[in-house]
Amino acid sequence: MTAAPLLQVENLQMHLHLRRGVVKAVDGVSFEVHEGETLGIVGESGSGKTMTCLSILRLLPIHSDGRLDGSVKLDGEDLLQLSEEDMASRVRGPKVAMISQDPMTSLNPVYTVGDQVSGPFLYHKLVRTVREAMAAAAQGLRRVRIPSPERRLKNYPHQFSGGMRQRVVTAMAIACSPRLLIADEPTTALDVTIQVQIMNLLRSIQQDSKVGIILVTHDLSIVAGLCHRIAVMYAGRIIETGKVRDIYRNPQHPYTQALLQAIPHLGQKRSRLAAIPGQPPNLIDPPKGCRFAQRCPKRMSVCDDYPPATDLGDRHVVNCWLAAKQ
């Protein structure tokens, strides 16, 4: 891994100022994504995984006073320093695109699919005429393997099934051949049989275009088959990151270990699960030390200080005192 990473996020912070206090939704997150690589960001709801992605695109929730800090370098250019116009015209779409969770709400029901898929081509001036845009849109639908695309362009979103809609959304996302694709729970709303198809689609798009993918999910099973590397987030921070095999075969952080044991998976007989007690901490006033300490079975007194990042080799990094001590 000598090539410069496609995306390098360093000490990213996103703090939301609410009436109740400052929510540290993302609190010092660093990671990188290389060309043609898929990074899975795994975490529970409220762990900051979606906020991390929105921060990369500099999209903050409406009605909130948010503050972004740190740096997000895409091909060496810090996105946090760009003007809003540059973000809109040069970055969102041509460089970074996003697929969101709900294919029902990410398409506008009053426009045809053709109108919506051709939108990015026209907006980013990749084509000159509407006719060319429609041709490009049809090509886009073909890339995501929607049968008879020319005919389907005239249909409205409600005439598509959930899986097909997610394909349309994917076609829109890859319209401008982005460098980085952020997929936020792309399969959560879909049935299992359709889920696999979308995963395969993402994989084949990546093989064709060398796009870097960030896959955000709460489901450890989905990332296993698709990602090259995984970052586990807990309470606004990344607590363990490494190659997929290292994380699944040799998890070091007690949270990662517990999470892998706490989900029922196929091939497991009727038995009690090793439940993680308690609840994730409050992000307004998170514990000073390790944020998992309160629920951790291996808690020690040093855990009152935040554990340093320990590199176990091969970019397997864990923030835990147990690893630091060895």
Partner 1 sequence: MMGLELRDLSKHFTVRSDRGKATVRAVERVNLGIPEGQTVALVGESGCGKTTIAKLVLKLETPTSGAVTFDGKSLEEMSRKEIKDYRRQVQAVFQDPYASLNPRLTVRRIITEPILAHYKRDRATLNARVAELLEIVGLPPRAADLYPHEFSGGQRQRIAIARALALNPRIIILDEPISALDVSIRAQVLNLLMDIQEKFGLTYLLIAHDLALVEHLSTRVAVIYLGSVVETGESEQIFAAPKHPYTQALLNAVPRPDPDYVPKAAEGFDDTGSALEPPSGCKFHLRCPHAMAVCKTDNPPLIKLADGREAACHLLSGPPPAQV
Partner 2 sequence: MTVILAPTPVTVADAPQLPFLVRFRLKGTPWIPILILLLIIVAAMGGESIAPHDPNGLDLGAAFRPPFWQAGGSYDYLLGTDNLGRDVLSRIIAGARVSAIVVLYAIGFSGAIGTMLGIMAGYFGGIVDMIIVRITEIMMAIPTLALALIFTATMDPGLSTVIIVIVLTYWTWYARIIRSEILSLRERDYVAFAKVAGCGPVTIFLRHLVPNIFNTLVVLMTLQVGQVIIFEASLSFLGVGIQPPDTSWGLMLADARQYITYAWWGITMPGIAIILTCLSSNLIGDWLRDLLDPKRRQL
Binding site for partner 2 (CB under 8 A): 19-20, 23, 46, 275, 277-284, 294-295
Residue 283 interacts with, from partner 2, partner 1, none (CB under 5-8 Å by kind): partner 2
| Contact in structure between 212 and 6 (CB atoms under 8 Å) | yes
How many angstroms separate the CA atoms of 24 and 66, rounded? 10
For residue 25, count other CB atoms closer than 10 A to its CB. Answer: 25
Residue 16 or 87: the one with the smaller Cβ distance to partner 2 is 16
**Residue owning tokens 């810090």:** 78
What DSSP letter does each residue of 235-254 carry, written as one string? Answer: TTEEEEEEEHHHHHHS--SH
Residue 51 or 199: the one with the smaller Cβ distance to partner 2 is 51
| 87-101 exposure pattern, b = at least 16 Cβ within 10 A, e = fewer | beeebbbbbbbbbbb
What DSSP letter does each residue of 60-81 carry, written as one string? Answer: PPTTSEEEEEEEEEETTEEGGG
Q: Please state the closest distance from residue 98 (CB atom) to partner 1, in A.
A: 22
Residue 154 or 298: the one with the smaller Cβ distance to partner 2 is 298
Residue 245 or 299: the one with the smaller Cβ distance to partner 1 is 245
Residue 105 interacts with, from partner 1, partner 2, none (CB under 5-8 Å by kind): none
Q: Is 105 strand, coil or helix?
A: coil
Which residue type, as a one-letter code, is found at position 189?
Answer: A
How many angstroms separate the CA atoms of 42 and 234, rounded? 9
Residue 45 found at the interface with partner 1 (CB under 8 A): yes
Q: Please state the closest distance from residue 117 (CB atom) to partner 1, in A.
A: 19
Residue 2 or 271: the one with the smaller Cβ distance to partner 1 is 271
Query: Binder to partner 1 among 22, 127, 135, 244 (CB under 8 A)?
Result: 244
Residue 105 found at the interface with partner 1 (CB under 8 A): no
Residue 271 or 326: the one with the smaller Cβ distance to partner 1 is 271
Interactions with partner 1, residue window 259-288 (CB under 8 A): 259-277, 279-280
Query: Binder to partner 1 among 107, 176, 190, 202 (CB under 8 A)?
Result: 190
Residue 181 or 290: the one with the smaller Cβ distance to partner 2 is 290
Which residue type, as a one-letter code, is found at position 33?
Answer: V
Among residues 179, 165, 9, 174, the alpha carbon closest in space to that of 101 is found at 165
Segment near partner 1 (CB under 8 A), from 17-25, 38-46, 122-130, 173-181? 38-46
Q: Please state the closest distance from residue 157 (CB atom) to partner 2, in A.
A: 23
Q: Please state the closest distance from residue 169 (CB atom) to partner 1, in A.
A: 15
**Residue owning tokens 């490009």:** 136
Helix (H) or strand (E) holding 171, with range, is: helix 162-173
For residue 302, count other CB atoms closer than 10 A to its CB. Answer: 14
Question: Which positions touch partner 1 (CB under 8 A)?
Answer: 44-46, 161-164, 190-197, 199-200, 218-222, 224-225, 244-245, 248-249, 258-277, 279-280, 295
